Amino acid sequence: MTVRKNQATLTADEKRRFVAAVLELKRSGRYDEFVTTHNAFIIGDTDAGERTGHRSPSFLPWHRRYLLEFERALQSVDASVALPYWDWSADRTARASLWAPDFLGGTGRSLDGRVMDGPFAASAGNWPINVRVDGRAYLRRSLGTAVRELPTRAEVESVLGMATYDTAPWNSASDGFRNHLEGWRGVNLHNRVHVWVGGQMATGMSPNDPVFWLHHAYVDKLWAEWQRRHPGSGYLPAAGTPDVVDLNDRMKPWNDTSPADLLDHTAHYTFDTD
């Protein structure tokens, strides 16, 4: 069984294997397919129309399936690799271990946001940004520039305490756990982290930055924590809701999985805290 660990506890060998598998997916072209898929749903998901990956109840199960696909791709390269998660409520600064040169590399230079160290820096030659909107083919970050502070544990706890999964109108105006975790309402958790990292992470092409996977692995973990705290509160809406994915509806682009199929993460992996 795959065990997803806190990135802060990874061994040097676990970091090396994760990075090597990510680089191999990039070299083969498979990585950029994930970037293209995510950007297509960012563009297509709107408050007033069909929405699947974002601004909608299926934000969490959609990304759970998306991360599973990526993790399986990594494991096709190295079966020992699991997605680590980044607890940004604990590792809240640009000095945290995930930004070290032996793992993801650090922030970008002030001139243009270009990441200058680590395995994904342009100078290393292994990480061209191919799915992009302009001519800049290098990884960019600006940690803590557009937003000064990452979410605190107290803010996370305030969202985990919400007893209802989601509410009408089932979009970015909704109240409830999902939208407060996604970040369109309230203390803003998930969205704020994207903006804090900056660079490609602040765009629809955010998976261009490998930290995307660690961020979303933690968002996924928070969903699992919420489920444990509120065993009587399930996924909503259940059925008959236009433009969104109901409990038993199939999700694009896979069309073979519903939110109901993804409610129990332990069927696929566990976390180191389970």
In angstroms and rounded to an integer, the radius of gyration of the C-alpha atoms of the chain is: 18
Domain contains 162: yes
* pLDDT per residue as tens, the chain (274 positions): 999 999 999 999 999 999 999 999 999 999 999 999 999 999 999 999 999 999 999 999 999 999 999 999 999 999 999 999 999 999 999 999 999 999 999 999 999 999 999 999 999 999 999 999 899 999 999 999 999 999 999 999 999 999 999 999 999 999 999 999 999 999 999 999 999 999 999 999 999 999 999 999 999 999 999 999 999 999 999 999 999 999 999 999 999 999 999 999 999 999 999 9
Residue 125 domain flag: no
Residue 260 counted as domain residue:
yes
Binding-site residue numbers are 38, 54, 63, 190, 194, 216
- Whether a cis peptide bond, with omega within 30° of 0, leads into 169 is yes
3-state secondary structure of 140: strand
Residue 201 forms part of a structural domain:
yes
Question: Whole-angstrom Cα distance, residue 34 to residue 138?
Answer: 17
Is 117 contained in some domain?
A: no
The pTM for the full model equals 0.98
Task: Count how many domains the chain has.
Answer: 1
104 lies in some domain: no
Annotated binding site for Cu cation: 38, 54, 63, 190, 194, 216
DSSP letters for 173-224: T--SHHHHHHTSSTT--HHHHHHHH-GGGGSTTGGGSTHHHHHHHHHHHHHH
Does residue 118 sit within a domain?
no
Looking at residue 76, which CATH number applies to its domain? 1.10.1280.10
Q: Which domain, by its residues, includes 252?
A: 2-91+144-271
Whether 106 is in a domain gets the answer: no
- What are residue 108's DSSP bridge partners? 115
Q: Which residues contact 37 (CB under 8 A, 6 or more apart)?
A: 66, 253
